[in-house]
Amino acid sequence: MASSSGWETRNEGAQGKRYLAFVARPENLLLGEPLCLFIKELTPGRRKYEARFVRAVLSSGEGSHEGDTLLLSSLSGRAHQGTLVIKILEDLGDYLTGSPYRRHSGFFRAESRQT
Amino acid sequence: MVPKDVREFITTLESTGDLVRIREAVDWELEVGAISRRSSELGGPAVLFEQVKEYPEGFRILGGPLATWRRLAIALELSAETSVREIHRVYEERVKHPVKPVVVKSWSHRRHIMQCNDIDLFRFPAPLCHELDGGRYIGTWDVVVCRDPDTGWTNWGMYRFMVHNRRFLVGAPSPASHLGMLLKQKFIPTGQPMPVAVVIGADPLCSLVAATGFRPGESEADFAGALRQEAVELIKCQSNDLLVPANAEIVIEGEVLPQAAAPEGPFGEYTGYRREADHLGVLMRVTAITYRDSPILTMSCLGVPPDDSSVAGALGVSIGLKRRLLEHGLPVTDVFLPPEGASHLVVVGVKQGGSAMAQRVRDILTGRRAWYTKIMVVNEDVDVFDMRQVWHAFAVKCHSFRGIFLTQQEGVGSELTPCYSKEERERRVGAIALFDCTWPPEWSQSDIPVKMSFDEAYPAEVKNKVLNKWSRYGFK
């Protein structure tokens, strides 16, 4: 089912909570192994879009009924078609340590498959 | 009297037909942004959203406070019909006479306070302005206050800030901005947190000077007093020593952490486009929030011009650029950043033209930051505030071969300029096109074509006769 943003949501029965992540290359996200990323809460209500910095495992979701739904966007705010399943392992605090103004891609490279 | 706060400004705007109140509950997620954006693009009124879904009655949003010349004129206590030229003249005249602020102690306005574990930024209806923005932006029309720890200079700037979580904001002040420079030069090297205050809903002229960008060492508070023609009242923050406008609706106090970062954006910007958010943002830990009864969150839903940035923000920048050119001894008549140019196009009028003069103008305007990527220099007979005249001069006076000068500098460009490639943004390349739309000074008077306009093609007695009889001819 396509949303107004172009996302295709997976089987409704498998959904728990929904999150959104802005990443440099959505198609290159590391699947099946723990990674760290910032996600946005999409549960309706006042806290919608609250950020969380988490360690999580992502999967394509096929055949999986565990975990929540992760929607993806590029860093310029273009919806990536298709969603992933996210299983949050732990919260990592409010922020990354280190000075601001560093490039995003340096951070996200760690979560991407080597291409 | 100029409006002393946002509430007085709203009352005045309502009386002139420049404000719409929406009493029906609207969604902070996109609906508020969509309404504001459409009103801006239509040159419509400011919008006061009186009821926001999921929020208590009284938590309001004011969209597009200074997105038209009419509202800007009203903020300056001028007639709403005042011409763009006259608004520039009044602004230029008033800022010549700075007025020192006064510090007050009474806490009569913002009687609500959140501290410690009570702090929760989600108690304010920060909007999601555009679909797939990176988050909810509470700071889009704000006054961000910070201070140089060595000199004591206090800076006001307008920087976007997004709600990260309950207790943190994340922002994107450019490294070349005053806040960015102070952070990089004075706080990151020492590891000390940088005290800041994000002031939301200051009176319109305080917001106007924050959007302008004066020079390091200059006090925006003094210039706000100049525009108001009376001192701005400041009050000390609750959790740090910064002074903030006493009449503001909401003040978010905190500290920028020099060794912390989080993703910020993407966000639809004043250029009319949204670019990749490819740098980690500046993280602000909130230490206290004070706010008035029924607080009003001011918002500018930026995008394709016109909006608050391309109208109000550009006004002060125009005057600042003119001042800079005059200080260098250039015979400048006026400078205008037309709203449609989204702060990338500058029109400069000069008394004596020529390519050498045009290139001097360019060099002075782009020495430190080449954010103005198109510069048009015109003779003084062209009204720089009338783009029909400017386009005419560009079309027929700018020589298509020897009147266009293309240059490029490293490290001075804006990363927000939409036409730059990713690689150019990384290098902060500043590409500039200079259009010399003036007559060459070496041309003799007989070489210069005679202009065929009403003002210049007729003797005075004919013009007077025509003007005097204009309505009798049947014109309205």
Both tokens of residue A48? 């919608």
How far does the CA of residue B175 sit from the closest CA of chain A (Å)?
8
| Residue percentage of chain A with pLDDT more than 90 | 60
Both tokens of residue B250? 């909401």
Question: How far is the CA of B368 from the CAs of A62, B177, B363, B422, in angstroms?
Answer: 54, 11, 9, 21
How far does the CA of residue A65 sit from the closest CA of chain B (Å)?
27
Q: Give residue A64's pLDDT.
A: 64
Exposure string for A60-86, b = 16+ CB within 10 A, e = fewer = ebeeeeebbbbbbbbbbbbbbebbbbb
Question: How far is the CA of B341 from the CAs of B115, B180, B408, in angstroms?
Answer: 43, 25, 19
Are residues B370 and B174 in contact, defined by beta-carbon separation less than 8 angstroms?
no
Q: Give residue A112's pLDDT.
A: 44
Calculate the average pLDDT of chain B: 96
Are residues A24 and A105 in contact, defined by beta-carbon separation less than 8 angstroms?
yes
Exposure string for B80-117, b = 16+ CB within 10 A, e = fewer = bebebebbbebbbebbeebbebeeeeeeebbeebbeee
In this complex, the residue of B123, B128, B261 whose CB is nearest that of residue A100 is: B261
Reported ipTM: 0.92
Residues of chain A contacting residue B166, judged by C-beta atoms under 8 Å apart: 50
Q: Among B279, B283, B302, B415, which would you mutate to test the A interface (most chain A Cβ atoms within 10 Å of its Cβ)? A: B279
pLDDT per residue as tens digits for the range B95-143? 999 999 999 997 667 889 999 999 999 999 999 999 999 999 999 999 9
What span, in angstroms and rounded, lies between the C-alpha atoms of B425 and B436? Answer: 27
Q: Give residue B312's pLDDT.
A: 95
What span, in angstroms and rounded, lies between the C-alpha atoms of B363 and B111? Answer: 50
Longest dimension (CA), chain A: 42
**Domain B83-293 part of CATH 2.30.110.10:** yes
Residue B276 has pLDDT above 60, yes or no: yes
**Residue at B102: amino acid letter:** V
CATH of segment(s) B328-447: 3.40.1670.10
| Residue percentage of chain B with pLDDT more than 90 | 93
- CB neighbours of residue B454 within 10 Å: 10
Residue B444 has pLDDT above 80, yes or no: yes
Question: How far is the CA of A104 from the CAs of A7, B175, B261, B276, B410, in angstroms?
Answer: 23, 15, 10, 10, 21
What span, in angstroms and rounded, lies between the C-alpha atoms of B67 and B19? Answer: 11
B30-55 average pLDDT score: 98
pLDDT per residue as tens digits for the range B386-434? 999 999 999 999 999 999 999 999 999 998 999 999 999 989 999 999 9
B163-188 average pLDDT score: 95
Are residues B267 and A87 in contact, defined by beta-carbon separation less than 8 angstroms?
no
**Residue at B163: amino acid letter:** V
Interface residues of A toward B, Cβ cutoff 8 Å, are 4-5, 22, 24, 38, 40, 45-53, 73-79, 94-105, 107
Residues of chain B contacting residue A105, judged by C-beta atoms under 8 Å apart: 278
Q: Confidence band (pLDDT; 50, 70, 90) for A13?
A: very low
Judge residue B449's burial from the number of C-beta atoms within 10 Å of its C-beta, 0-12 exposed, 13-18 middle, 19 or more buried. Answer: exposed
pLDDT per residue as tens digits for the range B203-249? 999 999 999 878 999 999 999 999 999 999 999 999 999 999 999 99
Residues A49, B136: C-beta atoms closer than 8 Å: yes
To 10 degrees, what angle do helices B314-327 and B84-94 make? Answer: 60
Residue B36 has pLDDT above 90, yes or no: yes
Residue A10 has pLDDT above 80, yes or no: no
| Annotated domain spans of chain B | 83-293, 328-447
Closest CA relative to residue B172, chosen from B283, B304, B257, B317: B283
B251-256 average pLDDT score: 98
What span, in angstroms and rounded, lies between the C-alpha atoms of A14 and A16? Answer: 7
Strand partners, B268: none
B448 close to A (CB below 8 A) = no
Residues A77, B132: C-beta atoms closer than 8 Å: yes
Both tokens of residue B8? 């007085």
B421 close to A (CB below 8 A) = no
Are residues A77 and A39 in contact, defined by beta-carbon separation less than 8 angstroms?
no
In this complex, the residue of B122, B132, B279 whose CB is nearest that of residue A102 is: B279
Residues near B462 by Cβ (< 8 Å), separated by ≥ 6?
Answer: none
Residues of chain B contacting residue A107, judged by C-beta atoms under 8 Å apart: 280
Q: Give residue B342's pLDDT.
A: 97
